[in-house]
Amino acid sequence: MDFYATGGQTKRWDVFINHRGIDTKRNVVGLLYHNLTRHKLHPFLDSKTMNPGDKLFDNIDSAIRNCKIGVAVFSPRYCESHFCLHELATLMESKKKVIPIFVDIKPSELHVMDFNGRFEVKELQRFRRALKEAKYTVGLTFDSSNGDWSDLITRATNIVLESLIEVDKQSQDRHIITAFFKRRFRSALSSLVISIG
């Protein structure tokens, strides 16, 4: 997959991993990140990708804008985090394909808190819309008390790979269609110039 980060160019990421670190960084998210990199993909994971001094929101928002797909790993404390919900809302608003993984939680158990009035109602509504959309997207569910971690990681990786192939094909198709219409437009324009001249 394409990736560039030299000479001031924007970094392109294959997949943005949205998660609550305290619940998932040392298990599903860490394992998924390493498995994706073994497949020569470029996943964005805050703890692996960002450096001291990086601006948190700027880098995360840029990574979301410049990723092909997202993976949202929902866990019991996910909705306690403004950062998680902001990332999810940004992913959903950018119309990226998002693959939900529900770890030790059911979609129906996910609810946006009021954060003790620290955020505007408009922001909370934004979070609720994104969470609702994610909850009604087909994803993977996993119960860590009796689930097979390697099976989950293999399934998630395969879904990511299939989704990236689909996204790349759609992008390629758009480029072909755009090139076709540009040629048609130039041809029509030159015919118009000839007939006027």
Catalytic center residues: 87
Residue with tokens 């404390």: 77
Nearest-5° Cα angle at 169, 163 to 173? 145
Written as six digits, the tokens of 57 are 């929101």
Q: State how far the alpha carbon of 18 is from the alpha carbons of 3, 79, 134, 156, in Å.
A: 19, 12, 12, 14
Q: State how far the alpha carbon of 126 is from the alpha carbons of 72, 87, 119, 157, in Å.
A: 16, 11, 11, 29
Q: Is 35 exposed, middle or buried (0-12, 13-18, 19+ CB in 10 A)?
A: middle
Phi, psi dihedrals of residue 76, rounded to the nearest 5° = -55, -35
